[in-house]
């Protein structure tokens, strides 16, 4: 690839394109200079590398977070200012095992290299390249590699400056610090239309002082949305104070919210600030606000209307400047009709309502979230890699998820432990396992989800196969062998390694199946 071509790429990236498309164009340009089977752009976010764009990996890879210190290949790439290339038979585990498009989703003997990206002398992220044919990167001219590295860094720097400028113009203030601030473990994982629209709503309302009501079923992640709203607001450097209204006893609700003086009630041995005072200048997150008793609702309404509170046992008002974010899994309109929630308070807190979609309406976000939880669980259990087989993925996609994201998280944690124990009899959390552990449907323990679509499939008459079992098996073998030969450019030895069969047996199959 020539310098002129790369400058053309930079010029293309400078036009009004979404960030994802900018990065995809960059990866496409790199693959033209350095042919490879998989390429990924990962950005450093505090202590993890997050996939921004990739080609040749499964779509759900977007859900993975590769923590620094847990992936030796990525650690070496990030810490070096030079091109890092690994031996084809390196024993270091590959972060993309189970995520690449091979017959068994594993990376066996292969070529792997990567470069780090630094902006303003600070590590920004890495680009990784993988080729399934060992020695494939030997064919790339070293000078061409160096030119690609230097200009790739220039492109990323240019794209980041464009993104920063766009966000500054959008928010009207300096967002440099916010760009480098992590989400504190409260990320919103997914790119489904429902989640994309939700994130747009958050971007719209977060910088304003408007009160936000977050609605959604139990387990959808309303708390994560509240944290994101605070992090994207101009109160981000002030406290975010959270209180679970469902856990407030009616007798103590007033004291918890507004504070109390010494001797205000039995047990009040000293004065204490309430949540409103603690959140002064920042954000107060009222979780499960639909559970507040009516008397407390009246006092809360006054605080919101007047911008002042009174501690229990005191006659002196205290001025507070608090941005309110409330959340509920109840239909507050129906609660108002039933007389269980004040209409005036409802209108006060629902200035800008947003709804977090249930998991069953989020499509492939299920698999992205699954990868996010698997990455976390594999390190908790000291496993080399934790993956889902194809039938397990289909089972997850077919489930209706009444418990939403929380149910998925807990189910995968149980499945990971079951699969580990089965793969390694006597396995205990904390011991080290070197093989890849694959979760199968039996480990999930899901009951069939009888949605209308699934019910229809169950009631349809069984189809009589047009092929015999032997013919179907041979077709499958032929297809797998052909894919392996294409990927290895008909290198039979490399294809045999991919398929985990003996080379001589593969040669006989190729001849018999006329591949």
Q: Which two tokens stand for residue 350?
A: 């629902």
The tokens 């209180």 sit on which residue?
243
* Residues paired with 118 in a beta bridge: 123
Q: Kindly report the three-state secondary structure assignment for every residue of 453-492.
A: HHHHHHHCCCCCCCCCHHHHHHHHHHHHHHHHHHHCCCCH
Residue 113 contacts residue 73 (beta carbons within 8 Å): no
pLDDT of residue 467: 58
Q: Which two tokens stand for residue 265?
A: 């009630």
Strands 111-119 and 84-86: antiparallel
Averaged pLDDT in 10-residue chunks for the chain of 515 residues = 53 57 84 89 93 91 93 95 87 85 62 89 92 85 75 76 64 42 68 94 95 97 96 94 90 86 76 91 96 92 90 86 96 96 96 97 95 93 88 93 96 94 65 73 78 44 52 76 73 83 81 73
* Residues paired with 287 in a beta bridge: 244
Q: Which two tokens stand for residue 127?
A: 């680009």
In 82-192, alpha helices (H): 142-171, 176-179
Q: Which two tokens stand for residue 395?
A: 């089972």
Residue 480 contacts residue 443 (beta carbons within 8 Å): no
pLDDT of residue 418: 92
pLDDT of residue 361: 95
pLDDT of residue 169: 58
Distance CA 229, CA 254 (A): 26
pLDDT of residue 450: 45
Distance CA 455, CA 271 (A): 61
The string of DSSP codes covering 47-112 is: TEEEEEEEESB-GGGGG--EETTS-HHHHHHHH-SS-EEE-TT--SPPTTTTTBSSTTS---S-EE
pLDDT of residue 207: 95
User: Among 256, 402, 226, 403, which residue's Cα sits nearest to residue 328?
Assistant: 226
pLDDT of residue 268: 74
For the chain, the C-alpha Rg in angstroms (whole number) is: 28
pTM, 2 dp: 0.76
Distance CA 82, CA 126 (A): 11
Burial of 114 (0-12, 13-18, 19+ CB in 10 A): buried
The tokens 């190729």 sit on which residue?
510
Cβ-based neighbours of 90, under 8 Å, separated by 6 or more: 73, 112
């Amino acid at each position: 690839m020539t310098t002129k071509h790369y400058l053309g790429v930079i010029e293309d990236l400078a036009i009004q394109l979404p960030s994802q498309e900018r990065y995809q164009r960059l990866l496409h340009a790199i693959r033209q200079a350095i042919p490879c089977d998989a390429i990924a752009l990962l950005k450093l976010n505090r202590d993890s590398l997050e996939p921004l764009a990739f080609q040749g990996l499964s779509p759900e890879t977007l859900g993975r977070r590769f923590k620094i210190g847990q992936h030796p290949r990525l650690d070496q790439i990030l810490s070096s200012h030079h091109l890092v290339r690994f031996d084809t038979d390196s024993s270091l585990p590959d972060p993309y095992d189970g995520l690449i498009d091979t017959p068994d989703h594993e990376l066996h003997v292969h070529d792997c290299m990567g470069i780090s990206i630094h902006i303003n002398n600070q590590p920004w992220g890495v680009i990784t390249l993988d080729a399934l044919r060992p020695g494939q990167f030997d064919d790339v001219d070293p000078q061409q590699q160096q030119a690609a590295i230097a200009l790739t860094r220039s492109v990323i720097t240019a794209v980041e400056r464009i993104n920063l400028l766009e966000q500054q113009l959008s928010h009207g203030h300096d967002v440099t610090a916010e760009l480098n601030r992590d989400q504190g473990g409260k990320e919103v994982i997914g790119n489904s239309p429902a989640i994309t629209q939700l994130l747009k709503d958050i971007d719209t309302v977060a910088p304003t002082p408007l009160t936000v009501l977050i609605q959604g079923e139990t387990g959808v992640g309303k708390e994560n949305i509240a944290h994101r709203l605070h992090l994207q607001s101009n109160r981000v450097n002030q406290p975010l104070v959270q209180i679970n209204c469902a856990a407030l006893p009616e007798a103590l609700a007033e004291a918890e919210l507004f504070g109390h003086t010494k001797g205000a009630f039995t047990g009040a041995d000293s004065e204490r600030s309430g949540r409103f005072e603690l959140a002064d200048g920042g954000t107060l997150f009222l979780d499960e606000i639909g559970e507040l008793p009516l008397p407390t609702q009246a006092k809360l309404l006054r605080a919101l209307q007047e911008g002042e509170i009174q501690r229990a046992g005191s006659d002196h008002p205290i001025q507070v400047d608090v941005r309110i974010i409330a959340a509920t899994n109840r239909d507050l309109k129906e609660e108002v009709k039933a007389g269980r929630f004040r209409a005036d308070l409802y209108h006060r807190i629902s200035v800008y309502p947003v709804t977090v979609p249930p998991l069953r309406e989020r499509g492939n976000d299920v698999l992205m979230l699954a990868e996010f939880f698997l990455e976390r669980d594999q390190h908790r259990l000291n496993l080399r890699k934790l993956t889902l087989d194809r039938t397990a993925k289909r089972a997850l996609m077919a489930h209706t998820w009444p418990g939403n994201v929380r149910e998925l998280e807990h189910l995968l944690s149980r499945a990971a432990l079951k699969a580990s124990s089965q793969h390694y009899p006597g396995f205990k959390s904390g011991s080290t396992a070197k093989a890849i552990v694959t979760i199968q449907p039996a480990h999930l323990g899901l009951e069939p989800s009888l949605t209308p679509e699934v019910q229809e499939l169950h009631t349809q008459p069984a189809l009589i196969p047009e092929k015999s079992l032997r013919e179907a098996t041979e077709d499958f073998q032929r297809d797998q062998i052909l894919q392996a030969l294409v990927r290895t450019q008909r290198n039979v030895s490399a294809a045999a390694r991919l398929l985990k069969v003996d080379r001589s047996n593969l040669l006989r199959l190729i001849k018999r199946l006329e591949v």
